Amino acid sequence: MTPATRRWSLLGAWLLALAALAAYALHTLHVSTDLRSFMPPPRTPDQTLLMEQIGEGPGSRLLLLSIEGAPEARLAELSRGLVAALRADAHFEQAINGAFDPSALDEKLLPYRWLLSPTLDAHALDADYLADQLGQRVEDLASPAATLLKPLLPRDPTLEVLALAQRWSPPKAPIVRDGVWFSSDGAALLLAQTRGAGFDPAAQGAAIDALQAAFQALPGAGAATLAISGPGWFTVLINERTRAEADRIGLVSTLGFLVLLVLAYRSLPSLLLAGLPVLSGGVAGAAALALLFGSAHGITLAFGFTLLGVAQEYPIRVLSHRREGEDALASVRALWPLLATAIVSAAIAYLAFFASGVTGLQQLAVFTIAGLLAAGLSTRFLLPRVLPERFRDVAGRAWLARAVGTLDALPRPRWLPWLLALLGLVVLWRTPGPMWENDLAALTPVPQDLLIRDAKLRGELGAPDVRYLLVLHATDADGVLALSESIEPRLDALVRRHALDAAELPSRYLPSLATQRGRQAKLPDRATLERALAQASADLPFRAGVFAPFVDDVEAARTLEPLTPAAFASSPLGARLAAMLVHREDEWLGLATLSGVHDAAALDALAGATHGAVRLLDLKAASESLVVAYRERILRALGLALGLLALTVVVALRSARRAWHVLAPMSLATLLVIVVERASGLSLSLFHLVAVTLAAGLGLHYALFFERPVADPAEARRTLHATLVCVASALLVFGLQAWSSLPVLRAIGLTVALGVGFHFCLSILMARARR
Amino acid sequence: MSLLFALSPATSSCAKPADAPVDAPTLVASLRREVPARTAYAEVRFSGLLERPLILHGELEYLGPDRLAKRVDTPYREQMRVEHGEASVQRGDRPVRTFPLGQAPELEGFLRGFAALLGGDAAALERDFTMTASGAARAWRLVLEPRDARLARRIREIRVDGSDATPRCFTTREGDGDVSVLLVDRLADAKLAVQVSQPQVDALCRGIDAR
């Protein structure tokens, strides 16, 4: 076999192995997009509830819809059509548009209206009450509303169904025109509840696609436009924007990176082959995740690929350090001790992440360690064997010699690092504002105009806040309903005092068994009712016997088994109630949604008066506390990682003094990155921490290579060349990200770009071996 | 207040021969009232739920486009007002109940028709109803049938009987066969038997000349 054939067949085998591994990873690895699987496991019942509610609470699964751009009648028609389509769609649990829906109470549940409506709490079905009611019905018959009410009267002369419909309509409903909800500026309004979790972009994306398709399929939808708002929509929107911008930046920076490498090495094949180790690392990391976990979160993968960026240094070092006339394999062998030190110390450091106990971080560790090892080993054993034999030694370039000379001539005062560290600590100490950003949402902010529109729609629809929930604790579902009934008057009082706009309690839909039985006991028997009815209608013009269906219903209601949540589940409103009742092993929870909370303290006081039976859950505060807990784990893991790293470097270099030369610039640069970001008013988030880690990994390389004592001036030039290429490519890729409009990309880009700059300068200042 | 005076036409251009055939737009235009116009009325309501008709007396007010008021004096007291797309009802001493007309689009169409009729706005009427006029100026009949299918299910037709520029009867035939007849002008004081029948009321409306 000629060397060329050997090279080609090895390259073919490598690519084939990569393809097979990638196919396995793609096939096996399930990528989750639900934010919750990235969070630490919940430890308290509260956190469990929070995790469920973040994604699956009724509030977060609600989409607010408005249709505009057509005449009112057309919009009303579209609203009705869309509701019908969504009710038949499996992505949606519920869709309402304010149309009076007589089927809200199932035909077979109709006799239950006496048990469900509060009417009997204040009145008895006696002659006096009936006379009053029937008198009003006579007046109704003479009113223009007669055509609407007439069909109901024989069975329901007290209009109990209307009383229930009113009780069940949203507490602060929008105005109704042409039979459906309209906003004050003439758009038709609807509410749709998805089945999928609110912060699961994939589930929400599917639901929103289905929604838009259903709207487009409506006859005459052409002119009108459908606007969507709500947590699910924001999730999808932000996801799309982030991806689009990351793709755009990725494309530009990849092109720039290629141009840079061509300029640096003047060989296209070398350049293409140099991409293989990082590719191998990514594929190996994904395959390791597939093998060990079977699934990974999208954020884990994104973080993982970011951290793997450090592996691009390996092939660059190989290309830059190759000597004139030397076999690529020989130059790798010479480099390997140092490269291995870098790889092993990074891999050992990431073990700390594995010990953190958080699945997301463990996955990150597995991905990164597997990726770094695969990239490193393929750089050592595969890359040199496939590189073309023809190449130019970079040491021969004149500008490089001049650059080395300039660097050597630079003054390097020993006091400067200490001064910088001191200044940095002072700035860090004095900078106002919070050190940490606890609101994950702040990194993926929703554009202001969309937030304003959401608030407006939410206000018009009286839709619940996503932030607050009232949690009711009881031993069984009926206990929750009884508790809910008992706080209803107090909550109503708070609504009257404008502490909040409205509350939706489970007992609004279903009273407790005791209440239902109490109402049942007040129902008169057939003979009594017939006597009362005859007496009540004596002076009224109603036809005799016209109310027989009413008498039958009351008689039937007397012997009904009271409705339980399970029995109620079959009715259209059952799903809404089911979403408000949560079963735990040893207790039941009731979830009351609140809209327009103006005075959370008043609600807290109400909850406090129940001695723990009712609690106000602030989802924002709870999620922020989770982020804090998460960050503490990351910081602890990072601290441990730093210790392990230092130890590895000391062992590898067999000298504490040399290790100090490597570790000191790396630590100081990391400090300075944080100082600059804090001084410019930024609060640090998880993404900043990951970016700082990546930058430190890159800085470790610069320091390690600069610290290496070299006798040969050509080798010093090669080291500088390799480092300059690494710095330039990192600055290019991450500098572009720093200009992104999205805070999450900006956080990573700015931090790494700053870090690379500081690490490079400080490595020259503090690590570079004097000759 | 003279009701007859109040309901006399705002335009006195009705110098046509008494037995000339009528056409709907001219007829409607001649019905325009100066705002505000008031009249006493008697309403007879026949319903399948009732064994004898419901007979109400009170006063109707036309306050301008889309503004109507109806007061019931006997057998109970009620004040209803429709304005700016909202209806408010007060019965006896109970609190006023207000609801947007949009909750009942049918009702809105019906009231819009009524207001357009009293405003003499043939174009507005033509949008919501098909109009047929018959008879002569001395005794005419205008039949309005809703164009909107949903309104048509509730309201089959509105029939107006009158002579010259004065309407006398507004008969509303509902989807389920119930009929309501509003007698105004001099018919407002007509003596009505407790068990008055539909044909009798109809004759009263038609028989203006045969009085």
Listed in order, strand segments (DSSP E) in A195-294 are 225-229
Chain A residues near any Cβ of chain B (below 8 Å): 76, 100, 135-136, 138-139, 141-148, 150-151, 153-154, 175-179, 182, 541-544, 546
Nearest CA in chain A to B71: A143
Structural contact between residues A385 and A13, judged by C-beta atoms closer than 8 angstroms? no
Query: Is residue A126 left, alpha or beta, with left meaning phi > 0 and alpha meaning psi from -120 to 50?
Result: beta
- A157 vs B49: CA distance, rounded Å: 11
Chain B residues whose CB is inside 8 A of the A546 CB are 49
**Eight-state DSSP code of residue A540:** S
The set of residues, in sequence order, having a beta carbon less than 8 Å from that of A78 and lying 6+ positions away, is A67, A70, A188, A215, A218, A220, A221, A224
Inter-chain contact B104–A148, Cβ cutoff 8 Å? yes
**Eight-state DSSP code of residue A618:** E
Residue found by looking up tokens 């932030």 in the block? A467
Closest among A705, A701, A730, A698 to A720, alpha carbons compared: A705
The set of residues, in sequence order, having a beta carbon less than 8 Å from that of A228 and lying 6+ positions away, is A63, A64, A65, A208, A211
Question: What number is the average pLDDT over the span B103-110?
Answer: 68
Structural contact between residues A346 and A372, judged by C-beta atoms closer than 8 angstroms? yes
**Eight-state DSSP code of residue A172:** T
How large is the angle between the packed helices A656-679 and A743-766, nearest 10 degrees?
140
A144 closest CB neighbour out of B105, B110, B176: B110
Inter-chain contact B49–A176, Cβ cutoff 8 Å? no
How large is the angle between the packed helices A359-381 and A298-308, nearest 10 degrees?
30
- A632 vs A213: CA distance, rounded Å: 44
Q: Which two tokens stand for residue A159?
A: 């209009």
Chain B residues whose CB is inside 8 A of the A136 CB are 91
How large is the angle between the packed helices A656-679 and A619-653, nearest 10 degrees?
150
- Residue A275 has φ and ψ, to the nearest 5°, of -80, -20
Inter-chain contact A145–B104, Cβ cutoff 8 Å? yes
Q: What is the pLDDT of residue B145?
A: 93
pTM for this entry: 0.68
Q: Which two tokens stand for residue A743?
A: 């805070």
Taking CA atoms, A379 is separated from A317, A319, A327, in Å, by 10, 11, 14
Q: What are the contacts of A627-630 at 24+ separation with CB within 8 A? A: A627/A438, A627/A439, A627/A440, A627/A686, A628/A436, A628/A438, A629/A40, A630/A39, A630/A40, A630/A358, A630/A686
Chain A residues whose CB is inside 8 A of the B56 CB are 142
Nearest CA in chain A to B80: A143
Shortest Cα distance, chain A CAs vs residue B48, angstroms: 8
Inter-chain contact A148–B107, Cβ cutoff 8 Å? yes
Structural contact between residues A331 and A323, judged by C-beta atoms closer than 8 angstroms? yes
Q: Which burial class, exposed, middle or buried, applies to B6 when counting CB atoms under 10 A from its CB (0-12, 13-18, 19+)?
A: middle
Chain A residues whose CB is inside 8 A of the B78 CB are 139, 143
Q: Which two tokens stand for residue B62?
A: 């036309």
Helix (H, G, I), strand (E, B) or coil at A723: helix
Chain B residues whose CB is inside 8 A of the A154 CB are 49
- B21 vs B142: CA distance, rounded Å: 12
Q: Which two tokens stand for residue B179?
A: 């009929």
Q: What is the pLDDT of residue A226?
A: 92
Residue of B60, B103, B151, B157 best to disrupt the A interface, most CBs of A under 10 A: B103
Nearest CA in chain A to B79: A143
A250 versus B196: which is more confidently predicted? B196
pLDDT band at B210, cuts 50/70/90? very low
Q: Which is it for the CA torsion A74, A76, A78, A81, positive or negative? A: negative
Helix (H, G, I), strand (E, B) or coil at A445: coil
- A10 vs A549: CA distance, rounded Å: 88
Chain A residues whose CB is inside 8 A of the B111 CB are 144
Closest among B199, B208, B207 to B181, alpha carbons compared: B199
Shortest Cα distance, chain B CAs vs residue A548, angstroms: 12
pLDDT band at B131, cuts 50/70/90? very high
Residue-wise pLDDT tens digits, A276-293: 998 999 999 999 999 998
Closest among B115, B109, B108, B58 to B87, alpha carbons compared: B108
Rounded to 10 degrees, what is the CA torsion of A425, A430, A433, A435?
Answer: 20
Averaged over successive runs of 10 residues, the pLDDT of chain A (771 residues) comes to 83 93 89 65 69 68 89 88 90 81 67 90 90 90 80 89 81 76 88 83 89 90 87 83 78 82 83 88 93 82 79 87 82 88 84 75 89 94 86 80 85 87 89 78 71 82 79 91 92 90 89 94 93 90 91 92 84 76 84 86 87 84 77 84 87 89 91 91 83 86 86 84 88 83 81 92 81 49
The set of residues, in sequence order, having a beta carbon less than 8 Å from that of A628 and lying 6+ positions away, is A436, A438
- A738 vs A726: CA distance, rounded Å: 18
Shortest Cα distance, chain B CAs vs residue A237, angstroms: 35
Residue-wise pLDDT tens digits, A636-666: 888 888 888 888 889 988 888 889 989 999 9
Helix and strand numbers (H, E) in chain A are: 32, 13
Residue found by looking up tokens 């720039």 in the block? A256
Pairing of strands A30-32, B37-46: unpaired
Inter-chain contact A139–B76, Cβ cutoff 8 Å? yes
- A562 vs A514: CA distance, rounded Å: 9
Q: Which is it for the CA torsion A252, A257, A260, A261, positive or negative? A: negative
Q: What is the pLDDT of residue A751?
A: 92
Chain B residues whose CB is inside 8 A of the A100 CB are 103
pLDDT band at B10, cuts 50/70/90? very low
Inter-chain contact B52–A179, Cβ cutoff 8 Å? no
Q: How far is CA A448 from the centre of its chain?
A: 18
Q: Which two tokens stand for residue A49?
A: 């509830």
How large is the angle between the packed helices A313-321 and A328-354, nearest 10 degrees?
160
Chain B residues whose CB is inside 8 A of the A76 CB are 105
Shortest Cα distance, chain A CAs vs residue B175, angstroms: 8
Nearest CA in chain B to A73: B105
Shortest Cα distance, chain B CAs vs residue A542, angstroms: 4
DSSP A99-134: ---GGGS-GGGGGGHHHHSTHHHH--SSHHHHHHHH
Complex ipTM:
0.82
Closest among A379, A258, A339, A410 to A719, alpha carbons compared: A339
Q: Which residues of A411-445 are buried (b: 16+ CB within 10 A; e: fewer)?
A: eeeeeebeebbeebeeeeeeeeeeebbbebeebbe
Structural contact between residues B29 and A522, judged by C-beta atoms closer than 8 angstroms? no
Pairing of strands A295-297, A30-32: parallel
Q: What is the pLDDT of residue A55?
A: 61
Domains of chain B: 24-204 (2.50.20.10)
Q: What is the pLDDT of residue B14?
A: 44
Cis upstream peptide for B53 (omega within 30°): no
